[in-house]
């Protein structure tokens, strides 16, 4: 504390310690928050095709096309410890070969300050909905859920699944659009 440099050193160290404590406080004020919000998913049309999957088994596999609407108000999730949300729509279903299949169909990053009210109409999926066989044809129960990763300033990275999912049956035949 006798010279300028030693004073600057202790001042800087003390400031950093205080900043670390504040960051921990920011984490602890939001750590136990419930970040589930209701989500409304609606599927308007499903088409099923049987095409060769060049990335996978090189056999003809089922490829589904979905047209969907999503309505959700994500505003309650945002607080001072949220930088952005990574939201994604995933399909879950079971086939003979796998008890659980999960396919991400669509995703979006919502930054802080973006419009947190999702109101999407007639959306096409962003990624191919390929099964690794013929498990989509005539599948009675394909469940669509919207989940999100909460990217924080400090602390854990929670993975939350929105409440409200939809289960749809897939068509029994290929290339015949099915409307709901």
Q: Check: CB of residue 27 under 8 Å from CB of residue 154.
A: yes
Least separation in angstroms between CB 8 and other proteins: 6
5-64: contacts with other proteins (CB under 8 A): 7-8, 10-12, 14-15, 18-19, 21-23, 25-26, 29
Longest dimension (CA), the chain: 85
- What is the pattern of x (binds other proteins, CB under 8 A) and - over residues 87-126? ----------------------------------------
Identify the residue among 61, 66, 78, 110 touching other proteins (CB under 8 A): 78
Residue nearer to other proteins on the CB measure, 79 or 132 = 79
Q: Sign of torsion, CA 110 111 116 122?
A: negative
Identify the residue among 73, 79, 92, 107 touching other proteins (CB under 8 A): 79
Alpha-carbon torsion, ordered 75, 162, 105, 101, to 10 deg: 160
Residue 75 in contact with other proteins, rule: CB under 8 A = no
Pairing type for strands 129-130 and 159-161 reads: unpaired
> Which residues are within 8 A (CB) of 27 and not within 5 positions of it... i.e. 6 or more apart?
81, 152, 153, 154, 155, 156
Report the interface residues with other proteins, using CB under 8 A.
1-4, 7-8, 10-12, 14-15, 18-19, 21-23, 25-26, 29, 78-81, 153
């Amino acid at each position: 504390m006798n010279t300028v440099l030693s004073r600057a050193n202790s001042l800087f160290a003390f400031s950093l310690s205080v900043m670390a404590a504040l960051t921990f406080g920011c984490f602890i004020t939001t750590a136990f928050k419930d970040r589930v919000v209701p989500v409304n998913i609606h599927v308007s049309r499903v088409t099923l095709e049987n095409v060769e999957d060049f990335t996978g088994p090189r056999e003809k596999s089922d490829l589904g096309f979905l047209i969907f609407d999503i309505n959700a108000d994500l505003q309650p999730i945002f607080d001072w410890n949220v930088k952005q949300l990574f939201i994604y729509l995933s399909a879950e279903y079971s086939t003979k070969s796998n008890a659980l299949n999960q396919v991400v169909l669509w995703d979006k990053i919502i930054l802080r300050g973006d419009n947190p009210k999702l109101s999407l109409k007639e959306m096409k999926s962003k990624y191919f909905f390929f099964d690794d066989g013929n498990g989509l044809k005539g599948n009675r129960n394909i469940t669509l859920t919207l989940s999100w990763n909460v990217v924080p300033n400090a602390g854990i990275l929670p993975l939350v699944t929105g409440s409200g999912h939809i289960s749809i049956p897939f068509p029994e035949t290929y290339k015949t659009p099915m409307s709901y």
